[in-house]
Structure 1
Amino acid sequence: MSLSPSDLPAFSRCMTDKNTYKRTEKEIASVHAASSEDVDRAIRAARAAFKAPTWKKLSATDRGRLLVRLSELIEERKELFASIDAWDNGKTYELAMEDDLPDSIGTFRYFGGWADKSFGQTIETSPEKFAYTLRQPYGVIGQIIPWNFPLAMAAWKLGPALACGNTVVIKAAEQTPLSILVLATLIKEAGFPPGVVNIINGYGQEAGTALTQHPLVDKLAFTGSTTTGAQIMKAAAPALKEVLLETGGKSPLIVFDDADLDQAR
């Protein structure tokens, strides 16, 4: 999928003292919902890429360069990404430009710098022994992100996993799938080998379940509801897979018609 600014609809700003935006119920796009078979193909592609010399033997410094290059490509297209997330997610263009894009760009750049700075150590024991640690990637990481920060959440999940040499299958939220699909084109443009990053869309009940229960996934990372997080822990338990959960969102705000919008922002 490839989009340019000319592909996006014009946003109609209401010229009022409240500086609000219009919205409609018009469908803006549709994407393919991955089946369990699609998920299986993505995971097998990630497993093959993890073992392939193009990724496995790539130096940590070169992995870092790929991440930095990806950050540069996002920065070059930040207006496009801000427009897509305003269009798809509902946050304002200004918020996406001022918060989400700097965060996403900075995350990939940060982990690009860390890629060749994660290493083991030698451990003092006794003259008769030589002890050392060696840090190695897990393998295939299954990741699931929520709707509220589509691009930034992808960066938070992808950045550290790729910096450490893992391969990834990441599922976007079904409500906000568009910006990560555009990100996929930049991952390819940056020079990542095929299969290193696999992006799927779909519903949690089918695609999410297939991802969390697949035997070839070595670790799971999830951001979302506590209930779903508990289900993912159960799915990972039989194989003793490591799970990283960020759950329990709180403090929602409801803005009513009589609110002072300047104060509500």
Structure 2
Amino acid sequence: MSLISRLPEVEEFLSRVQPLRIDGAEVAGSSELDVVDPSSGSVISRVAGAGAAQVDMAVAAARAALSGPWGRLSPHDRGRLIWNLAELIEARKAIFGQLDALDNGKPFAVARDVDAVWSARHFRYFAGWPDKIEGATIPVSTPNRLNHTRIEPMGVCGLITPWNYPTLMVAWKLAPALAAGNTIVLKPAEQTPLSALYLADLALEAGFPPGVLNVVPGLGGDAGAALAAHPGVDKIGFTGSTATGRQIVMASAGNLKKVSLELGGKAANIIFADADLERAVPGAFWALFGNNGQSCTAGARLFVHRSVHDQVLDGLRKLAEGLSVGPGMDLKGHDLGPVISRVQMDKVLGYIADGRTGGAQCIAGGGRLGDTGWFVQPTILAGVSDDMRVAREEIFGPVLCVLPFDDEDEVLARANDSEYGLAAGCWTRNAGCVARMGAGLHAGTVWINCWGDTDAASPFGGMGQSGYGREMGRDALALYTQTKSVWQGL
């Protein structure tokens, strides 16, 4: 196995313990955290870990920047800085790609050409918004009164992001928060902090004033908990597990800060009898195995009409057998990398064993791959019933559950029988079925004859236990702004 040579900038970045980034300076933490390459299980770097004291410093810096040069910046200039950051991200996409491939394990080409490039596009989209955030003049009924609204930033925003898309998930939250005029304290996932720290350096290079973007890696129980409960934070934006989301809501009650949550999922994907199977089979396959199943929108429950069930299953098995799995930095290039950690690998393997004990048949995969790193074989389980844990709980790994169905009403009810509601989809050529599924599936995003499409202009978010609030598009600005009503006597 030959590995891609690390860029000199990446080597230098990994060679020293990376400090916190607070108020434009490098700050020591209260602890140090190992950064592990999940492809090998080896420590590749160390970063400072923030505790409550460092979170206090970061919030104070963000508050000062809000009333300082950043708060006085014109909307045009704010958009220009966001655009500058987008340009720098794309110019350094190989660096972002290597950092994410190393601490997340995903294939380098994907991290570079998808995650980093789409992040740059996201910042470019929101760079156009600052001078278009406008209030309204309202024709009130009270005589001799003028009423208008102002759309103002929330203030200091705490952003807590996950490990499955280390760069992209930061972009989803950071770009609209900056466009709205907020200042930021960002806590990236402790497993994948490298690209967020590098992004903080680029923000200064792009011209952002110190204190606008502060990055405080740390454990969830330390930095994350301190940020969620901090009385100086006006807004929390969180992506992660439903269980942690509940804890954040409770922690936010102290000062009733605004909270938006993008949480777990167990998406239903439906292949109807009339579907174009040449598109539907690979589409449904990658709906789960894209990003190694480590996605909240993964099409984990695949409902297949009984008349085409065996044909679909055979096609899925062949695709799984043809996958290349290996280290993200392998020069050969692979379709999938490892899962994020040994803990996650053991969790995924435990779900597979539980499903097989319950009667599911393993059509492909089913075990660990190799004995180095945290690799799980791409696994397809057939004979799954709705009440099995593998069909109800979020696995967050390369495990696809296939369930047969007989008619439309039945499958719609079964698809909606979940506490989650982040994403769903179907494959059909029937226009009536398209309309009924688009309306009937209980999910924040419904994909029809496609899967996984997102765009900076299109809203994204969940229903039920998958959270609330909509990221991306005009809707995202509502997460990071507040409306003020101004009355004037004439």
TM category (shorter chain) comes to 0.7 to 0.9
- The alignment partner of 2:153 has SS state of coil
Residue 108 of structure 1: which of 76, 100, 123 is its match? Answer: 123
Residue 83 of structure 1: which of 98, 110, 123 is its match? Answer: 98
Contact 2:231 2:254 in 1 (8 A): no
Q: 1:7 to 1:164 in 2, by over 3 A?
A: closer
* Residues 149-164 of structure 1 aligned to structure 2 (within 5 Å): 149-164=165-180
In 1: Cα distance, 2:43 partner to 2:74 partner: 44
**Structure 2 counterpart of 1:260:** 321
State the structure with bigger RCO (CA 8 A, min sep 6), 1 or 2: 1
Shift of 1:116: 1.0
**Structure 2 counterpart of 1:37:** 53
Q: Which amino acid aligns with 2:115?
A: D
**Structure 1 counterpart of 2:207:** 191
Contact 2:123 2:175 in 1 (8 A): yes
In proportion to residue count, which structure has more strand? 2
Q: 1:7 to 1:73 in 2, by over 3 A?
A: closer
In 1: Cα distance, 2:155 partner to 2:105 partner: 35
Return 103-112 or 126-135, whichever deviates more.
126-135
Q: Which amino acid aligns with 1:121?
A: A
- Where has structure 1 moved over 6 Å in runs of 4 or more? none
Q: Which amino acid aligns with 2:179?
A: A
Deviations 1:119-144 (A, max 9, x none): 10111224532111101111100110
2:2 matches 1:5: no
In 1: Cα distance, 2:162 partner to 2:134 partner: 31
Contact 2:115 2:167 in 1 (8 A): yes
Residue 157 of structure 2: which of 141, 145, 152 is its match? Answer: 141
In 1: Cα distance, 2:265 partner to 2:163 partner: 12
In 1: Cα distance, 2:101 partner to 2:70 partner: 35
In 1: Cα distance, 2:85 partner to 2:46 partner: 26
Q: Which amino acid aligns with 2:83?
A: V
Deviations 1:167-198 (A, max 9, x none): 01010000001011111110000010110110
Residue 130 of structure 1: which of 129, 135, 146 is its match? Answer: 146
In 2: Cα distance, 1:6 partner to 1:180 partner: 18
Q: Which amino acid aligns with 2:163?
A: W
Query: Number of residue pairs matched?
Result: 248
Shift of 1:102: 2.0
**Structure 2 counterpart of 1:239:** 255
Deviations 1:47-86 (A, max 9, x none): 111111x111100110000000000011111111111111
Q: Which amino acid aligns with 2:114?
A: D
2:135 matches 1:74: no
In 1: Cα distance, 2:104 partner to 2:200 partner: 18
**Structure 1 counterpart of 2:374:** none
Q: 1:102 to 1:8 in 2, by over 3 A?
A: closer
2:176 matches 1:176: no
Q: Which amino acid aligns with 1:78?
A: K
In 1: Cα distance, 2:265 partner to 2:186 partner: 20
Contact 2:9 2:95 in 1 (8 A): no
2:234 matches 1:218: yes
Shift of 1:240: 1.7
2:182 matches 1:166: yes
In 2: Cα distance, 1:91 partner to 1:159 partner: 23
Q: 1:217 to 1:69 in 2, by over 3 A?
A: same
Shift of 1:249: 3.6
Contact 1:146 1:172 in 2 (8 A): yes
- The alignment partner of 1:148 has SS state of coil
Q: 1:96 to 1:216 in 2, by over 3 A?
A: same
- The alignment partner of 2:100 has SS state of helix
Shift of 1:263: 8.7
* RMSD of Structure 2 on Structure 1 (CA): 2.2
- TM-score, normalising length from structure 2? 0.48
Return 235-244 or 211-220, whichever deviates more.
235-244
Larger radius of gyration: 2
Q: Which amino acid aligns with 1:145?
A: T
Q: 1:128 to 1:172 in 2, by over 3 A?
A: same
Shift of 1:118: 0.5
In 2: Cα distance, 1:245 partner to 1:215 partner: 19
Q: 1:190 to 1:134 in 2, by over 3 A?
A: same
In proportion to residue count, which structure has more helix? 1
Q: 1:8 to 1:162 in 2, by over 3 A?
A: closer
In 1: Cα distance, 2:10 partner to 2:202 partner: 18
Return 22-31 or 93-102, whichever deviates more.
22-31
- The alignment partner of 1:135 has SS state of strand
- TM-score, normalising length from structure 1? 0.88
Deviations 1:178-230 (A, max 9, x none): 01111111000001011011001000001111101111001111000101111
In 2: Cα distance, 1:100 partner to 1:220 partner: 23
Contact 2:82 2:127 in 1 (8 A): yes
